[in-house]
């Protein structure tokens, strides 16, 4: 597959005016020159004062498909984006800003090599990313938080085996029991927070808060996103639209999969558009949800 966005800058097409400084704390701002080369302007995320801020990042096809189906190997976000280098760049910048990256077990199970750090997806920029995090007084890498009801996770997965990446598995008591006998390394901690079948978004928020994080990046998948969306805990959505029509029933492969309706029959949650960028044919949209 050709990488149609290799090396392209994420050109700013439109940005909403910034909010007054005294209302919010901020993460980000000007970035080291090596990162700014492909991202003209600044990347800044407002931080809440009452709870950790949660932003989500997804890539969607133009017909609204974000996942190619459960249990399929090689069916990750890469297949949706066409392995877009510009999309990986955006993802790296967001990971560079985050204290924690939160993923569902289903997302972890797609492949075994993923590590949820910025340097992992843009290794050539590892030095600039490290410098930027140090400037912001952040730890070397974000903590990975994996959410799982079953605890059916592979200890050999690369995401558990980077010694400088702490991992917390937020799981149910059954999940914790299942994991207890598996050979996880000392960087992996199990947080038993759920009921028998499920980790409620509020309990996940407390796990995030317990790390001291002010900014969490949720990288999906759809089920986990649905859970935190329903609890109104998503503050912003960074959505890449890839120029691909997948052409299949998107009702079971779309953003935010939950049982029943999320906000009540016939109702949705509106957001305001705060930024539009493009890299070739990829579109980068940023939406902000009011509390």
SS3 35: helix
Nearest to 162 by CA among 182, 133, 136, 142: 142
**Which is closer to ligand NAP, CB of 3 or CB of 42?**
3
Interacting positions 223-282 with ligand NAP (CB under 6 A): 223-224, 227, 257
Q: Phi and psi (nearest 5°) for 189?
A: -120, 145
CB of 159 to ligand NAP, least distance (A): 12
Do 59 and 282 touch, CB atoms closer than 8 A?
no
Residue 58 makes contact with ligand NAP by CB under 6 A: yes
**Which is closer to ligand NAP, CB of 259 or CB of 265?**
259
Q: Which of 8, 80, 188, 279 binds ligand NAP (CB under 6 A)?
A: 80
**Which is closer to ligand NAP, CB of 108 or CB of 138?**
108
CB of 41 to ligand NAP, least distance (A): 23
Residue 179 makes contact with ligand NAP by CB under 6 A: no
**Which is closer to ligand NAP, CB of 106 or CB of 166?**
106
Q: Which stretch binds ligand NAP (CB under 6 A): 34-42, 66-74, 136-144, 154-162?
A: 66-74
Q: Where are the alpha helices (DSSP H) in 109-245?
A: 118-121, 126-135, 173-180, 201-210, 222-230
Binding string to ligand NAP for residues 136 to 165, with x set by CB under 6 A, is what?
Answer: -----------xxxx-x-------------
SS3 263: coil
Q: Which stretch binds ligand NAP (CB under 6 A): 4-12, 24-32, 222-230, 258-266?
A: 222-230
Three-state secondary structure string covering 212-228: CCCEEEECCCHHHHHHH
Find the angle CA(250)-CA(254)-CA(260) to the nearest 5 degrees: 100
How many CB atoms sit inside 10 A of residue 83's CB?
A: 18
d(Cα 129, Cα 58) in Å, to the nearest integer?
21
Residues at the site binding ligand NAP, with contacts judged by CB under 6 A: 58-59, 66-68, 70, 75-77, 80, 103-107, 110, 147-150, 152, 194, 198-199, 219-224, 227, 257
């Amino acid at each position: 597959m050709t990488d149609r966005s290799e090396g392209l800058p994420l050109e700013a097409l439109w940005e909403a005016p910034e909010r007054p400084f005294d209302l919010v704390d901020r993460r980000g701002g000007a970035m080291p020159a090596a990162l700014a080369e492909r991202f003209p302007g600044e990347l800044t995320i407002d931080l809440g004062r009452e709870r950790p801020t949660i932003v989500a990042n997804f890539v969607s096809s133009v017909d609204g498909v974000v996942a190619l189906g459960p249990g399929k190997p090689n069916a990750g976000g890469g297949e949706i984006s066409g392995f877009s280098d510009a999309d990986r760049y955006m993802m790296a910048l967001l990971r560079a800003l985050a204290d924690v990256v939160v993923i569902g077990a289903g997302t972890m199970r797609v492949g075994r090599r993923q590590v949820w750090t910025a340097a992992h997806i843009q290794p050539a920029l590892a030095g600039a990313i490290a410098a930027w995090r140090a400037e912001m007084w952040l730890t070397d890498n974000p903590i990975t938080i994996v959410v799982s009801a079953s605890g059916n996770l592979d200890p050999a997965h690369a995401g558990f085996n980077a010694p400088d990446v702490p991992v917390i598995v937020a799981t149910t008591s059954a999940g914790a029991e299942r994991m207890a006998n598996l050979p996880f390394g000392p960087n992996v901690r199990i947080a038993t927070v759920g009921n028998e079948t499920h980790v409620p978004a509020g309990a996940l928020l407390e796990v995030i808060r317990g790390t001291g994080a002010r900014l969490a990046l949720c990288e999906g998948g759809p089920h986990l996103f649905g859970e935190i969306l329903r609890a109104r805990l998503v503050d912003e959505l960074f959505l890449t639209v890839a120029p691909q029509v997948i052409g299949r029933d998107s009702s079971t492969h779309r953003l935010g999969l939950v049982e029943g309706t999320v906000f009540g029959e016939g109702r949705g949650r509106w957001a305001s558009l705060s930024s539009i960028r493009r890299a070739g044919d990829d579109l980068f949209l940023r939406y902000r949800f009011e509390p």
